[in-house]
Structure 1
Amino acid sequence: MKRVWSKGVSALLVSIMVGGLLISCTNSSGNGDNGEGAEGENSYKLKILHNWNGSNGSDAMTPVEEVIKEKTGVTLEWEYTKGSETEKVNQIFATQDLPDIYTGPAWGGELDGIIKAANEGQLVDISDKLKDYPNLSKSIAEENVPPALYEKAIDAYDGKKYLLLQNQPATNEDGMDWLYGFYVRKDIAEKVGVDPQSVVTKDDFYNFLKKIKDANLQENGQPVFPLGGFSNGWAVGIGNTMFYPGASYVDKGDGTVEHNFFTKGYEEYTLFYRKLVEEGLLDPETFTQTDPIAKEKINQGRIAILAAHYPAILDASKEYVSSHPGSDYIPLGPLERADVEPDRPVDLGIQGNNVTAITKNCKGACVDAALKFLDFMASDEGFMLARYGVQGVHWDMKDGKPVANQEWFDKFSTDTNMKLRKNEGISIGLESLTGLDRINSVAGGDIWAEQERLDAMENARKILRPNGIHVITAYNPGDVITKAPEWEMLKPSMDRMGDAWKEAVFAKSDEAAMSIINELREQLRKTGYDKAMQFTNENLKGKDVVTVQMPN
């Protein structure tokens, strides 16, 4: 096994799934026919499940969707997930309340769930139709998919094809660095007299939180929490990279890997966060709050330091910052990274973020309608339609590049809750269906970003990426262990890790916290962990392996 330094984050997601009735593909008359359009008709309503927690759209057909109907004959009906994406993907196949098109995360339990559906015959095999849809074929060509993901999810069904990968960068310049990190309100850092760039070690971080706590800051009579996040704990756990190399699997130093859950660093990470909770340095509702509640706290000015990627922080804080000049969130650090040379580029996993499939609910001509729609969205025209809106209305081409029309740029710049943008059909989920990401190589970047936002992103990049980035192309052990014979027995125990970590963080003592961790470790071993890891290490011999990875 070759050693590759890259960094990852353990994310704790504890959420409640809210289901909804899924309606089958219908013909233009609106009569449900289980995906079988009436003979001679070429207009279809397709139901799409956008399996991303907190996503949402418009209440009516948008101008962008009108163009899609004109180009493809398809009208769209959306369902958006509110709660756990993993629970949602498992629920729809268990209950058979199926959409026509599913799209959701290309990793974790969500990916495992859709692969399971493919193996059970719940999805439509599109292998014999891909030749007629060149944009879709290109999106899952072997050279355009990370090798481990290709083996696990794309080319894993004896020649059949069920899944499409979305938003894999077409070129290096299209890769998106989301700039995950800890960001502090500038005015609060000044108030407590701490330079955010002086916060480098875990002790610096803890002492900074203590200073904020001891300042007894309040907003409108309510306390300011030193540290907080968004819904269901996202993404306060990114401090793990200060304690162990961050990836789910770490190098043991003997040519093999083990899961980070069994490491000393994981114990230190857990007890550090338990101390933050015990001392009132971390918002105790972080792991249970909904996204609206989290954003309400941010808009009330009640979170001093936020953990997430920078675009989410800029969006969530925009309203508060506009009425409180000087309260912008700026990055800490960069913080130390465990067992990584300080001058090493930041290793990021930049890959497609969605897998898309047509479910067995869509039959006959409905499948062709779905493929026509998806192929159009994966074209250059569809790609820019999803991101920029209608050409000639929202934007135009100038000197070969898309440029926002000033009227709509001005409107969107004051659209703090994104409602106006969504009512035009932008950011409603279509961007999850557009094939290879060509945002810079073909399109014109983020034409809706204000210069102030671009400057903030560039400043954060200079601070957090002083040595640049390195895009990971290595194998993830997590993709290999799922093929182990013991996996079905082991998986329920593996799925308990996030909950066990949260329970440990809220335990009454360090001893009680470690008892929770050790109890699950023993359960993992009893359900096949050791043999599964032996299988994993044997199958990784001679391959580059992800052992260190920063969140992205």
Structure 2
Amino acid sequence: MKKKLLSILMVMMMAATLLSGCGKPGSTKNDSKPADSKGESSTTEGAADAGGAKKFDDVKLKMLICWNGGFKTASDQYNNEVAKKIREKTGVTVEFEGIMMSETEKLNLMFASGDMPDIINAPYWGGSAGETAVIKKAATEGRLLPIEDYLPNYPNLANSYDVGIVSQSYLENDLNFKGFDGHKYILPQETPGDTADVTNWAYGVFVRGDVLKALGIDPTTIKTSDDLYNFMVKAKEHGFKDVNGNDTIVATTYHNGWDSSGYSINLSDKKFSNYIKQADGTYNYVPLTEDWTNRQLFIWKLVNQGLLDVECFKQSDAQADEKVGNGTALFASAQYSSVINSTKLTGLYSAHPEMKYVPVGPMTYKDGQPLVQLEQNGRAGSPAIIFPSTCSNIEAALTYLDYINSEEGARLCQYGVEGDTYTLNDAGQPRLNSDLLARKAEGDSSVDDELREKGIGYILGRTLQADKRFTWWGEIGAGDADAAPQEMVEYKKARPVERADGYPLEGLVVNYKDYDKVKKFAFEGTTMDDYEQRAYFAKTEAEARSILEDYQKYLLTQDNGIFKDYLKYVTESANSRDDILD
């Protein structure tokens, strides 16, 4: 009898063990650890007694940074100071690699081949963006791991989904996409932890300072597209040279024409959506309007008259860095940080301080209102981190990310080791050592290289979730409070962030019954870009206008004219609630 009872008890214990294993959150056949992983050890300090983040025994993971242009890391990603400290806390090391190709193409190739890393960082702008569609498809086809059951154990990641950090529409339509069937696959990144942490991207048009001096122009007087055009014509006629004594180009952009729209922004309205309310109360799609046509014709005029770089629509960031870094482009339209970084790569300002790029304007909207950076209350699209089904240890990956997103971990990644590269000020905020700050203030780009070799900067840049750096430390980037270029500080004041509560119209129109049909011909792919660029290179304005009108006809005639019915739904959606942002 005793033997029988003992046998029953053993069977029950074995069954309980099996059930426990089956109930592990998100477990799949791919949850096994890699060959160099030695399993888990004690729970990390501060973790809950039951569950919570665990410390691992030298787990190594691979993370792909899926952004065209490559990704600079420390030459030794395992033994640098920051990586060692993270490993002491978590037992995990993540090694990063970048790409030099289209983000959408890379994602498609990976998911089709199944040759995927442990973690991926990629664009997830939401809506009809190409990368978003690929990632959603991968999730619904089982190529990504769901993370919702793990999140309660990682408090520094769990709040990434709070409204205010992300927008209500982004949460409903993209992070909690209905095709996910209640699972969470997307960890939104670079979102604001609080209002003070909203990143001011400082978009604009920037011009070499010596151009202003030679032509006697006050850049703050340039408010309209006509002002800018006249300024560019004078600059072209003057015959400026670059640092090597070569002929210059008047204006350029960064990769694939980003951001040529900055040159024509004065011809636009201050708005959140791509839909505009007409006099009769109905809504129209902006590319179907005369205002859109006029905006593209302005770019045509710049190209046609040799004012805008003909290569800019196909060039890489590396090519743009060379043109801006050598002062070959008199004007550049992008984020100010991109322009400043290009000049650091070449040391332009050290040899030619007179060529320092300064902001034009800022210009105004069509109605004369000054430009601002319009933001929803919570980010409406973001970079994101996803976990392929090939992830060898999802818990180790989340433990790593959770630590980096703690104040302690983020400080380590941004400033390094206290006493070595930073000290605390009287307010208890980390500040880079004075010698490093002095070199940064002088524009010495080798400082960033030296810090990167220690592991500082590159890790946090692609793993930060709800960004609280300003709230925590009073500065977004290391050195900003003491060594940020003064022209950048002033420009951000001139073109500030403006947030608004409300629900974007784009978040409702996706519910149109045939939205997938509309999306394929109207919003996905490069069709609009192709028509625009054909128009830019047309020989005459009449030819350019005809090409743009052909695109408008294309929209209205596809799939038996379904776009007209779609616009009726847009109008209905806009009138369905009183908090619409359009």
Scaled by the length of structure 2, what TM-score is found? 0.81
Residue in 1 that maps onto 2:389: 360
Mapped pair 1:516 → 2:547? yes
Post-superposition shift, 1:43? 2.8
Segment drifting more, 271-280 vs 57-66 = 57-66
Cα contact 2:363–2:371 (8 A) shared by 1: no
Evaluate the alpha carbon distance shift between residue 359 and residue 455 of structure 1 in structure 2; reply closer, same or farther with a 3 A threshold.
same
Segment drifting more, 403-412 vs 387-396 = 403-412
Mapped pair 1:385 → 2:412? yes
Matches of residues 416-427 of structure 1 in structure 2 within 5 Å?
418-427=448-457
Mapped pair 1:439 → 2:488? no
Identity %: 30
Cα contact 1:382–1:434 (8 A) shared by 2: no
Please give the per-residue CA displacement for 1:467-493, whole angstroms capped at 9, x wherever unaligned.
Answer: x54214433344444443433333342
Residue in 1 that maps onto 2:358: 330
Segment drifting more, 531-540 vs 85-94 = 531-540
Of residues 380, 383, 403, the one that matches 2:431 is: 403
Letter in 2 for 1:499: D
Post-superposition shift, 1:106? 3.4
- Length, aligned pairs only: 513
Post-superposition shift, 1:52? 2.1
Residue in 2 that maps onto 1:68: 86
- 1: distance between equivalents of 2:122 and 2:62? 14
Evaluate the alpha carbon distance shift between residue 298 and residue 276 of structure 1 in structure 2; reply closer, same or farther with a 3 A threshold.
same
Post-superposition shift, 1:65? 1.9
Of residues 444, 467, 473, the one that matches 1:414 is: 444
Residue in 2 that maps onto 1:238: 262
Residue in 2 that maps onto 1:173: 196
- 1: distance between equivalents of 2:40 and 2:107? 32
Segment drifting more, 345-354 vs 126-135 = 345-354
Letter in 2 for 1:488: D
SS at match of 2:94: strand
SS at match of 2:143: coil
Post-superposition shift, 1:248? 5.0
Segment drifting more, 447-456 vs 146-155 = 447-456
5+ long unaligned stretches in structure 1: 1-23, 32-36, 548-552
Cα contact 1:105–1:353 (8 A) shared by 2: yes
Mapped pair 1:250 → 2:279? no
Post-superposition shift, 1:113? 2.6
Residue in 2 that maps onto 1:14: none
Post-superposition shift, 1:55? 4.3
Please give the per-residue CA displacement for 1:243-291, whole angstroms capped at 9, x wherever unaligned.
Answer: 2226551322355543221111111111111111111101111112222
Evaluate the alpha carbon distance shift between residue 452 and residue 164 of structure 1 in structure 2; reply closer, same or farther with a 3 A threshold.
closer
- 2: distance between equivalents of 1:260 and 1:529? 13
Segment drifting more, 254-263 vs 149-158 = 254-263
Evaluate the alpha carbon distance shift between residue 96 and residue 256 of structure 1 in structure 2; reply closer, same or farther with a 3 A threshold.
farther
Letter in 2 for 1:87: E
Post-superposition shift, 1:427? 3.3
Query: Larger % of helix: which?
Result: 2
Post-superposition shift, 1:81? 2.6
Mapped pair 1:374 → 2:401? yes
SS at match of 1:442: helix
Mapped pair 1:114 → 2:135? yes
Rg larger in structure: 2
Mapped pair 1:284 → 2:310? yes
Scaled by the length of structure 1, what TM-score is found? 0.85
Residue in 2 that maps onto 1:461: 492
SS at match of 1:117: helix
Residue in 1 that maps onto 2:176: 155
Post-superposition shift, 1:505? 0.9
Of residues 341, 364, 374, the one that matches 1:315 is: 341
Please give the per-residue CA displacement for 1:304-356, whole angstroms capped at 9, x wherever unaligned.
Answer: 111111122222123211211222111112213124x5268653457373211
Residue in 1 that maps onto 2:18: none
Post-superposition shift, 1:159? 2.7
Evaluate the alpha carbon distance shift between residue 282 and residue 143 of structure 1 in structure 2; reply closer, same or farther with a 3 A threshold.
closer
Residue in 2 that maps onto 1:544: 579
Letter in 1 for 2:103: E
Residue in 1 that maps onto 2:480: 449
Mapped pair 1:42 → 2:42? no
Cα contact 1:248–1:259 (8 A) shared by 2: no
Letter in 1 for 2:359: P
SS at match of 1:52: strand
Cα contact 1:103–1:432 (8 A) shared by 2: yes
Letter in 1 for 2:60: K
Letter in 1 for 2:363: L
- 2: distance between equivalents of 1:534 and 1:323? 59
SS at match of 2:469: coil
Cα contact 1:383–1:431 (8 A) shared by 2: no
Evaluate the alpha carbon distance shift between residue 487 and residue 83 of structure 1 in structure 2; reply closer, same or farther with a 3 A threshold.
farther
